[in-house]
Chains A and B, each alone.
Chain A
Amino acid sequence: MGNPLTPAGRRYLARFFPAMFSYVVVLLASLWFIETYHPKGPLLWVLGVAPAIPVIAVIAVMGLYMMEETDEFLRTVLVQSMLWGIGVTLALCTAWGFLENVGVIPHFPLYLVFAVFCGAFGLAQPFVRRRYQ
């Protein structure tokens, strides 16, 4: 195998890991603070939304990689995999929502939607790649 990373790929990883690390730190800190001090009002809003900020940063990091990757075949694979990721996520969430509506399955927290997308996006990549082999 051995697929050396493109310069854009290296930049992606150099941005991705700090963003994920800050997500873990911010999430734990926010939960701990809310549990310990039971803040109310604007502070609760700020602490509540805080873990979303590094997740949004990860989304931006993925978008930047898409724009910066100059290798056209890798871009093709990424774009097609992302389309699969979007399609699968929308389909799953729509079906889940209707089932939730009739009360046969529990509520699905929306903050996990991005994780579902990442999973589908990642799983699609080897299948998309295989089409060109």
Chain B
Amino acid sequence: MKNRLKVLRAERDWSQADLAERLEVSRQTVNALETGKYDPSLPLAFKIARLFGQSIETIFQDEA
């Protein structure tokens, strides 16, 4: 699933490790999320949305 994580992270000037720490996940998880090949669980998606202060739908695009 496509997402805007990389852009949102760059806007805040965070490294993958910074984002991983804020989400309490491993850097590998952040990396896999950003490629769009790994879809987060619902709790993690909500955590990401809360962290960036946006809705899940604006961060993740559900398109083929």
| A residues in contact (CB < 8 Å) with B | 3-4, 6, 71-74, 76, 129, 131-133
* Minimum distance in angstroms from A126 CB to a CB of chain B: 12
> Closest A-chain residue to B29, C-beta based?
A73
A73 and B27 alpha carbons, distance in the complex (Å): 10
Contacts A132-B35, A133-B35 known; A72 to B28 CB distance under 8 Å? Answer: no
User: Contact between B32 and A132 (Cβ–Cβ < 8 Å)?
Assistant: yes
Contacts of B44 in A (CB 8 A): 72
Q: Please measure, in the bound complex, the distance between the C-alpha atom of A41 and the C-alpha atom of B27, giving whole angstroms.
A: 55
Interface residues of chain B, those whose CB is within 8 Å of chain A, are 25-29, 31-33, 35, 37-38, 40-41, 44
14 contacts between A and B (CB under 8 A): A3-B28, A71-B25, A71-B28, A73-B28, A73-B29, A73-B32, A73-B38, A74-B28, A76-B38, A132-B37, A132-B38, A133-B31, A133-B32, A133-B35
A72 interface neighbour in B25, B27, B35, B37, Cβ under 8 Å? B25
Residues of B within 8 A of A132 (CB): 31-32, 35, 37-38
A interface: dominant SS: loop
Count of A-B residue pairs with CB < 8 Å = 37
Q: How far is the CA of A3 from the CA of B32 in the complex (A)?
A: 14
Q: Of the candidates B26, B35, B40, B41, which one forms a contact with A74 in the assembled complex, judged by CB atoms under 8 Å apart?
A: B26
Residues of A contacting B35 in the complex (Cβ-Cβ under 8 angstroms):
132-133
| Docked pose: A133 CA to B30 CA in angstroms | 11
- Tell me the nearest residue of chain B to A72, going by C-beta: B41
Residues of B within 8 A of A6 (CB): 26
| CB-based contact A71/B29 at 8 Å | yes
